[in-house]
């Protein structure tokens, strides 16, 4: 299991806020002020969180309710097809290419950036923009 950092928590909040606290598959709306909101609506990564070069890329993530997230986890082909419809083939190819790069290559941030004070500050600013 991959440890959730402060950066992961902020990024997850960004995705849910960006998607208006609504599951992007079934359109179930979640009350963001509910004590169980974070359990009911997840930040779902298309390409897994172990790939740092796409871990914090908003194109790679979508808000999904628990049921839809679980469905896609159990049905990767359906997940892929849904993502292709959502993003288009070219974007999927770009995300996969980026996920196979190493942090620091081709202008991407180095791995140390991803939980640094600078990254946390950048994520908080992004959340305020959406806010």
The whole-model pTM stands at 0.91
Parse the chain into domains and list their residue ranges.
6-108
Q: What string of pLDDT tens digits covers the 131 residues of the chain? A: 677 899 999 999 999 999 999 999 999 998 887 766 667 899 999 999 999 999 999 999 999 999 999 999 999 999 999 999 999 999 999 999 999 998 888 888 888 898 899 999 999 999 999 98
Helix or strand holding residue 65 (H, E): strand 61-65
Give residue 7's Cα distance to chain centre. Answer: 11
Q: Are 91 and 85 in contact (CB under 8 A)?
A: no
């Amino acid at each position: 299991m991959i440890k959730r950092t402060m950066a992961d928590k902020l990024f997850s909040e960004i995705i849910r806020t960006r998607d208006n606290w609504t599951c992007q598959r079934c359109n179930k709306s979640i009350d963001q002020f509910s004590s169980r909101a974070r359990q009911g609506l997840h930040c779902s990564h298309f390409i897994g969180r172990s790939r740092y070069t796409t871990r914090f890329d908003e194109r790679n993530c979508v808000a999904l309710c628990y049921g839809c997230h679980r469905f896609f986890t159990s049905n990767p082909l359906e997940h892929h097809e849904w993502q292709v419809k959502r993003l288009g083939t070219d974007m999927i190819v770009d995300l996969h290419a980026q996920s196979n790069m190493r942090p620091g290559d081709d202008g991407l941030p180095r791995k140390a950036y991803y939980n640094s004070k600078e990254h946390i500050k950048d994520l908080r600013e992004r959340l305020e923009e959406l806010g």
